[in-house]
Amino acid sequence: MLALNNIEVVYDGVILVLRGVSLFAEEGCITTLLGANGAGKTTTLKAISGLLRSERGEVTKGTIELDGERLDRLPPHDVVKRGVTQVFEGRRVFENLTVEENLVAGAHTRSDFARVREGIGRVYDVFPPLKERRQPERRLVEEIFGIVRRLREEQRLTVLLVEQNAALALDIADHGYVMENGRIVLEGPAATLRQNSDIKEFYLGLNEAGARKSYRDVKHYKRRKRWLS
Ligand SMILES: Nc1ncnc2c1ncn2[C@@H]1O[C@H](COP(=O)(O)OP(=O)(O)OP(=O)(O)O)[C@@H](O)[C@H]1O
Ligand SMILES: [Mg+2]
């Protein structure tokens, strides 16, 4: 349903960051995009949501399509209207607003307030901690993943997931891509990627026997390891 066809992204007119990326997020599936720091994951998401332009980035080649319709020429608000939403990493919320006010702000593309209310009610239903205004906890990521999985099952939500924790990401994903230096270097069903020895070592920090390597070993390995030369 969401297709990136050989896209190239350039920042500031000169910095080539994505070098011909093709990936597909199938309807009702969770697709994960893995990659080391600086590989181009966030750039990929911003290319999809149209937010690149506010960072002086541009899709200079290829196409991004949603059910066959070009997205890469649309402004971000039109992309959102088609049901494609980028959920930001980190704490990209309005700090001075309450949880509820943040949710109202997030619904700004809807003009019917009764429907906004209804939507917020649904958010509280699927994610009760928000209602309790609980402070985020360490285990929150897993809780969110559980909810994403449920939404996929119940509402056929289509997800393109970028998450630092590759083990968790591959656990809930159906399909995965690995990005290195602005290119896709590996792709496959999540179950297959979980078994891939490079993935195990590079992202999961496990050795052949499945034992966890020390962080130092992994870091050292990361410096040497290149998926493609
Ligand atoms: N606004 C920008 N202008 C110029 N270069 C940028 C800009 N944003 C990102 N880059 C560069 O593009 C490359 C990819 O960055 P990106 O943020 O997409 O990587 P990432 O895979 O999301 O990394 P991380 O895991 O650290 O979040 C990096 O080399 C980065 O320095
Ligand atoms: Mg990023």
Query: How are strands ordered across the β-sheet holding 15-25?
Result: 15-25, 2-11, 57-66, 69-70
The predicted pLDDT at position 215 comes to 47
1-89+157-185 is classed CATH 3.40.190.80 = no
51: CB partners within 8 A, 6+ apart: 76, 86
Bridging pattern class, strands 30-35 and 175-180: parallel
Does the Cβ of 34 fall within 6 Å of ligand 1?
no
What is the reported pLDDT for 23? Answer: 97
Domain residues of the chain, as ranges? 1-89+157-185, 196-229
Pick the residue whose CA is nearest to atom 5 on ligand 1. Answer: 11
Alpha helix stretches (DSSP H) within the chain: 41-49, 76-81, 99-106, 113-126, 128-131, 140-155, 166-172, 190-195, 197-202, 215-224
Q: What are the pLDDT tens digits along the chain (229 aa)?
A: 999 999 999 999 999 999 999 999 999 999 999 998 899 999 999 999 999 999 999 999 999 999 999 999 999 999 999 999 998 776 667 766 778 887 887 787 777 888 888 888 888 888 887 877 654 444 767 777 888 888 899 889 999 999 878 888 999 999 999 999 999 999 999 999 999 988 888 777 665 555 655 544 545 445 445 554 3
Q: Is residue 9 in contact with ligand 1, taking CB distance under 6 Å?
A: no
Q: Is 198 in the pocket of ligand 1 (CB under 6 A)?
A: no
What integer pLDDT is reported at residue 228 of this predicted model?
47
In this structure, what token pair is assigned to residue 145?
């993943």
Under 8 Å between Cβ of 18 and 5: no
Confidence (pLDDT) at 189: 97
- For residue 203, how far is its CA from the centre of ligand 1 (angstroms)? 19
